[in-house]
Structures are given as C-alpha cells and as structure tokens.
Amino acid sequence: MSWIREGELNLLEKISANILMAGPMPKHVAFIMDGNRRFALKKKLERHDGHMQGFNKLAETLRWCKHLNIPEVTVYAFSIENFKRSKEEVDGLLDLARQKFERLLEEQENLEKHGVCIRVLGDLNMLPLDLQEVIAKAVVMTKNHNKCFLNVCFAYTSRYEITNAVREMAWGVEQGLIKASDVSEALLSECLYSSNSPNPDLLIRTSGEVRLSDFLLWQTSHSCLVFQSVLWPEYSFWNLCEAIVQYQLNHKSIQKARELHREEQALQQLEADCACIAEHLQHQGNGKPADAQRRQEALQHYTVAREERVQDFLQALKHKRDTFFTNLCSETVLT
C-alpha cells in the first residue's frame, strides 16, 4: 500500500473542506494513532493485521490533510515503551516498518512530485541496523523537498527527547561551542528532534484514551488537544473535520497563549543577559557600578556574541545529525 494516496474528495467532502478552510486552519497536526490492537480484536483479526490497517488509515489521512492544505503531519508510530511488548508483536511492528520504508524508497518520483519531506524523530540506534539504513535512505532522499512534511516518531518518547536535548547542550558546553549561561528554554527547543518543525497547532488522539503517552510533551504546551473515541483504523474524514472545528473554536486563546509565552521567553533571555553583564562589569570595575551607557553597550555586545555562539553550536549539531544519516546511507552502499 502506497504512502501517497491519489484521488479527490467527494462532493460533500469538498464542500465541507471549503467551509472549514474559510476559518483558521492548523498548519501542523500531530496524531497519536491509537486503537489498532483493539480494532483487530473487535474484527477478530491478527494484531499484525490491525497494525496494517492502521498504516492504511495513515495514508488515507495524509490525503485528507493534503486536500485541507495542512502541510505538516507528525505521527506517533513506535514508542520506546513498545519494546516492552511481546517479542512477536515487536518483531511484527519492525517488519511492517521495514516493508513500508522500503516501499517509500520505491515511490521517489511520487514523493518528488508532491514535494514530500520525510523526517524520522527518535533514537534510531535502538533499531536493527538494516531498518536504520532504510530509514536513513528515505530521510536523505527527501530532505530537500519542501511542500509538505511527514514526521514519523519512531523509537521515541518525549522524555527521552528532552533528556537527549539536555545532553546535546552539555556536549556544546564541553566542546566550547556555547557557555553554560547560554542554556535556555529556547535553546533546548532548538535541540529537540523536532527542531526543524513549528510546534503542532492541533494534536489528535484516537481510541478514547485521554492522555499524551509521552508524546510531544514539550511541543504541545500551547496546542489544541482533541481526544476522540473512534479507533484509529476506523478514523474518517468527518472525525478530522470535527477536530479541526475544535481547533478553530479555540484558535484565539491558543494564539494569545503563544504570544504571551514568546514575550515571557524574550523577557527571561533579556534578564539572563543582563545578569551576565552585571557580573562581568562588576568584576571589571572592582565592584563599582557601571554607568547606564556602558551597561547598554556591554549588553548589546554580549547579546550579539551569544547569538553567534548559539548559531555556531546549532550548525554543529545539525552537521552531527546529518552526518549520522549520511553515514548510514554510505554503509548501505558499501554492503
């Protein structure tokens, strides 16, 4: 089954889509695709068949998002916690992922036509090497596409992602790329796996569970959260429309909260910079207070220097991550 589904909406769906798109639309939607196993039990199918139906529904949902002009989708495909399931189920899920990413490589022309960029977020080192390699090829093959984006969270949990971001900042300090005083909430955001994406506007969880299950905890602090009772393989265009209506009803309050948060972040950064400058000037002046003009000049100089350090660090971090994927592709060629 193809990742990229062709086909138009039916007449009623088109009319509904046009009405929806007259209002504010989410640009980035995240899905916790829950309910595959319960669907299989309900339909008396094998668990593997339930997961297969779940993938088919993802492909269909991506088509709906395309018609609704939603350019970015993030899906929770495989949690680190899933490794605790039975070996048979874990092996089945990894085999399914292997098949689907191999199929993705066969769709290069279609992906290029639609400008689809595939990103995989998580610790790929937890996966079998052959699966790492096929994922890396898909990521590298589509990295320059920029019309729409699919982020697949695989071997992922949010707490692991945040912990890894802290490790990356510690690495930056150890390498002398940044100072400990440069560490901030904003910098941590830039060190997350999802740093190339805006935060989701809308997060949808299916199957009736009302929890985030360690998914995008940092990124969804100012997102609209919608919990729906439908099992993921039974998800419909109308379920998606219902979730978007919930987003539209809450759009103003979400935007206001985001703006307030941006202002708070800017104020926190200014206060941190001022504290660093005050300490520096105090040492230089043997404890004597500096005049206002000198403080302002020092603050401007420090801010520029900090921003340059941070950008150099983020470039180094990007290079390190890009190299990980390109090396995996090189290993595939060599073997």
Three-class SS of the chain: CCCCCCCCCCHHHHHHHHHHCCCCCCCEEEEECCCHHHHHHHCCCCHHHHHHHHHHHHHHHHHHHHHCCCCEEEEEEEEHHHHHCCHHHHHHHHHHHHHHHHHHHHCHHHHHHHCEEEEEECCHHHCCHHHHHHHHHHHHHHCCCCCEEEEEEEEECHHHHHHHHHHHHHHHHHCCCCCHHHCCHHHHHHCCCCCCCCCCCEEEECCCCCCCCCCCCCCCCCCEEEECCCCHHHCCHHHHHHHHHHHHHHHHHHHHHHHHHHHHHHHHHHHHHHHHHHHHHHHHCCCCCCCHHHHHHHHHHHHHHHHHHHHHHHHHHHHHHHHHHHHHHHHHHHC
For residues 157 and 79, the answer to whether their CB atoms sit within 8 Å is: yes
**Helices 47-67 + 237-284 axis angle, to 10:** 80
Average pLDDT over residues 172-186: 97
Which of 1-10, 51-60, 274-283 is predicted least confidently?
1-10
Residues belonging to the chain: 335
Average pLDDT over residues 217-246: 98
Q: What pLDDT does residue 279 have?
A: 85
Distance CA 81, CA 66 (A): 31
Distance CA 117, CA 150 (A): 6
Q: What pLDDT does residue 293 have?
A: 87
- Ordered by start, the domain boundaries in the chain are 11-262
Average confidence score pLDDT of the chain: 94
The CATH number assigned to the domain with range 11-262 reads 3.40.1180.10
Which of 162-166, 206-210, 238-242, 326-330 is predicted least confidently?
326-330
Give the pLDDT band (50/70/90) at residue 283. confident
Q: What is the pLDDT of residues 44-77, one digit of tens each?
A: 999 999 999 999 999 999 999 999 999 999 999 9
